Chains A and B, each alone.
Chain A
Amino acid sequence: MTQNTYANNTAESVMSGVGDESRRPRPRTGPLAGVKIADFCWMGVGAVATRLLADFGADVIKIENRKRLDMPRRLPIYKGDVRSYGNEDPNPDPNKGGLFNNYSRNKLGITVDMADPRGRELVVELIEHCGIVTENFAPGVMEKWNLTYPDLREIRDDVIFARMSGFGHSGPQAHYRSYGPVVQAVSGLSFNSGLPGREPSGWGLSYMDNQAAYYNSAGLLLAIYQRMLTGQGTEVDVSAVEAGIGLLGSDLLDTLVNDRPGRRADYPRGNRLEYPDAAPHGVYPAAGDDQWVAIAVFSDDEWQALRTAMDDPAWTAEERFATIPARIANQDDLDKRIGEWSRGRDKHDVMTLLQNAGVTAAAVQNAMDLVEHDPQIAERGTFFELDHPVIGPALFEGFPGRFGTSRPDNWRSAPLLGEDNAYVFGELLGRDADTLAQLSAEGVI
């Protein structure tokens, strides 16, 4: 990737944003208020992991490098400009990226050149101040900076050091390169998805960037809880591939326990189930271009409910559809008939009709449906809005549940590049304005 340097004038030009009192760092609320993290995480899997902690009150201080921008700052997810990635702006505004805004809300942002000894010295002080360090670099980067767990313990004995990588930090393939789709491939999560006899359909997203991130969040929370109880720190090592293998479920155990190979003619099964018995169980066409509805019938009672909801078409009374084993035996024809029924109907109408009749069904919703149509998301306030000095107001994906007392503290959209340098290096670490100006002029921060 291009190695553009985002000079300090980029930050200065947005210092107007810093004057905005609403963006000034303030004491946080929530169960993690008072927790401080020196956060080297970047990309998706790292940024999503520390986002949860920032949401619930931790001061997550995101350490960035102007010479090597975090990928989500560069990915072209911009208001009013539709680009696939792979089709990036070669010289992007680092403060315009929607994905970065989504991943780094509620965090503070500083810039440091770790290659400069003065930069490293600032970071060592920050680590001493925070006591928690997170990173998801390729293995070797923290080693190059002499910031391994033993090094960090020299700085602060009770330090928590959370490391997140594709393959984990030991073993012969620890250095292998990966991102979501590679992790999914190696862990078996791509192989287990698709129609029999075809190439796997796998995932249309970096699922493991999210799932490994959630496990990273849990690992960090466990380490924090452990330190609250004992005063002792720990290193945490998360391998995304291992997290992925842990998500394979009984298909994996069928191989491990029963020696049943995954590579067999009838696997994977597309939208059908081998266990438990279910028919119909599939995704059926609905009215409109490429619109679909999913229906899952696990019992004869549910089948009767579906029949009633469909107004009892004559074919549903046929003996070959009367029982689960019969419907499974005649699945191809069953699916065709259901599809003929659903094809002209609105996917949300089908969902409402069937759910109200006691049939497990859902529209295949896209992001537009979630934002514009889904009454549950709207009622529960799953998405929320924050303003941003460059992007303007934007929606964010909130925590998918409600707490009695541990509320998220959504105080600010993502930091502009270097937005909190003055606060962190000045107010927290005590550097005076002249020193900061010099460090900035020399590209150290």
Chain B
Amino acid sequence: MSKARVQAGGSPVASITVVELAQSPAGEQTGKFIGDLGADVIKVEPPEGVASRHVGPYVKGHEGDPDHSLEFWAYNSSKTSHVVDAATECGRREFAELLARAEVLIVEDVRWLARLGYELDALQQERPDLIILSVTPFGLTGPWKDYRTSDLIALAAGGMLNSCGYDDHSIPPIRPGGNQGFQLGASFAWCALLLALIERKNTGRGQLVDVSLHESNAVSGELANPYYFYPKAVVQRQTNRHAQPEPTQPATFECGDGNYVYFALILAESKAWSTLLTWMDDLGMAADLLDPAYQDIAYRQRQFGHVQELLEVFFLIQDAETVYHEGQRRGLPIGRLNAFEDLPNDEHLQARGFFVDMPTIDGDSTKYPGLPYRFTAFEPVPGRPPRLDEREAENA
């Protein structure tokens, strides 16, 4: 692996050592967050490697190779890998030595920790300075604490899935892609770790933090909970737009090149209406919308169906890239539904240097997403994910 480089200034977590017992995107992403900022993250793995190394997709030509899993690469940059065999005395001693060096332990499964010779309660007593960050499917307590999860299950139980899918309710709710059920747990675990580090700086004490994926999903539904907390309404899913108590107009438009844009026209917003009208007129597509009657909000709202049809045609005669940039140029909040291949070529992302050139284990390099935040005081650049049992950091 290569450790994260801190190009300028000093990273506040550079001196911290973390031991990570994780193999789902929840715990792994949490370790990545702190590792990408320059902490020493020691990823402890069983002899065959963690589960994420055995999940595809793989680098082409290396199918099944645990060092070339892109699922692993996605969540394990800037870490070292230490194979520790919990079945051997030697392995357990080695783990004890690693843990003795650490300020933070990330743990997804207390049974794995137990096999390595530690119980949570005893460990807290033995190491009051240690921050133990537990990230589990439902939390360490409660009637569902032993229930199993997956990304789909976390999204379903936590209420996120209920808001996502199509207008056609004969189709079940559809899982949003990218392991977001796990990612919500990782985001809260990361904030919890930072709070615990701040408290430790003030008091010298560590603590056990018990983050629940289920709860992380259950508090992240945006409008869904407030709609129940206040008017007792249950929101209904709609295609690629906000689930609401009642149906609203579609906001996804197909363009002439087969790609899509998102644009929610709020007819009560007079400025947006006149901007859109000017744009349509410039392309000779405003038709009868130029009728002064449409200056009246109530009239526009009554004619919504007709407005929507003209809008569909207006977008369909243009390509999505043009619609996106021209709409934004005119001040409308409109977005192209980018596919992955659109992103590295985006001139804005290029100007910001968002993608970094990440060295690969084959001596090659690949584009890799950069950090989600930028600081003037310090500039870390993530290092590559480790091979199985790659213990020493290369000089970056």
Contact = CB atoms under 8 A, between A and B. Distances in A.
A84 B248 contact: yes
Nearest to A289: B169
Contacts of B218: 370, 374, 377, 382, 397, 400
The DSSP consensus for interface residues of chain A is mixed
B55 to A, nearest CB: 5
A1 B13 CA distance: 44
A172 B354 CA distance: 13
Contacts of B155: 294
B212 A380 contact: yes
Interface residues of A, number: 162
A178 B340 CA distance: 19
Interface in B117-171: 124, 138-145, 147-150, 152-166, 169, 171
A146 interface: no
B290 interface: no
13 contacts: A98-B230, A167-B348, A195-B166, A195-B171, A199-B260, A246-B370, A253-B368, A257-B360, A283-B174, A363-B156, A376-B212, A403-B207, A403-B208
B199 interface: yes
Nearest to A245: B369
A189 B178 contact: yes
Interface stretch (A111-119, A260-268, A433-441): A260-268
Given A176-B328, A245-B354, A84 B245 contact: yes
B245 A237 contact: no
Contacts of A168: 352, 374
Q: Which of A86, A168, A239, A285 has the most CB of B within 10 A?
A: A86
A228 interface: yes
Contacts of B140: 402
Contacts of A222: 12-13, 37, 194, 373, 375
B372 interface: yes
A362 B156 CA distance: 6
Contacts of B373: 215-216, 218-219, 222, 236-238
B278 interface: no
B83 interface: no
A1 B243 contact: no
A277 B344 CA distance: 29
A359 B148 contact: yes
Given A1-B269, A214-B191, A255-B340, A228 B201 contact: yes
A85 B227 CA distance: 11
B179 A404 contact: no
A371 to B, nearest CB: 6
B241 interface: yes
Interface stretch (B68-76, B107-115, B279-287, B387-395): B68-76
B339 A99 contact: no
Interface stretch (A9-17, A124-132, A202-210, A316-324): A202-210
Interface stretch (A18-26, A72-80, A325-333, A422-430): A72-80
B230 A77 contact: yes
Interface in A164-199: 167-168, 170-174, 176-195, 198-199
Interface in B191-228: 191-192, 194-199, 201-203, 205, 207-212, 214-228
B17 interface: no
A381 to B, nearest CB: 10
B156 to A, nearest CB: 4
Nearest to A84: B244
A283 B161 contact: yes
Contact of A376 (B156, B163, B164, B214): B214
A395 interface: yes
A362 to B, nearest CB: 4
Interface stretch (B94-102, B182-190, B306-314): B182-190
B56 interface: yes
Interface stretch (B42-50, B85-93, B232-240): B232-240
Contacts of A398: 219
A295 to B, nearest CB: 8
A294 B219 contact: no
Interface residues of B, number: 162
Contacts of A366: 159, 162, 224, 228, 234-235
B157 to A, nearest CB: 4
Contact of A248 (B138, B191, B340): B340
B178 A204 contact: no
Contacts of A246: 369-372
A400 B211 contact: yes
Given A366-B159, A397-B225, A78 B230 contact: yes
A98 B377 CA distance: 38
A121 to B, nearest CB: 26
A99 B199 contact: no
A3 to B, nearest CB: 11
A29 B202 CA distance: 13
Interface string A339-357: 0000000000001000100
B234 A367 contact: yes
Contacts of B347: 172-173
A402 B336 CA distance: 39
Contacts of B33: 218
B305 interface: no
B316 interface: no
A5 interface: no
A376 B142 contact: yes
Contacts of B176: 189, 192-193, 202-203, 207
Contact of A201 (B144, B174, B245): B174
Contact of A234 (B207, B372, B375): B375
Given A177-B328, A250-B73, A281 B55 contact: no
Nearest to B158: A365
B175 interface: yes
B374 A376 contact: no
Interface in A213-256: 214-219, 221-226, 228-230, 232-239, 241-243, 245-256
B317 interface: no
A200 B376 CA distance: 38
Contacts of A31: 195-196, 198-199, 202
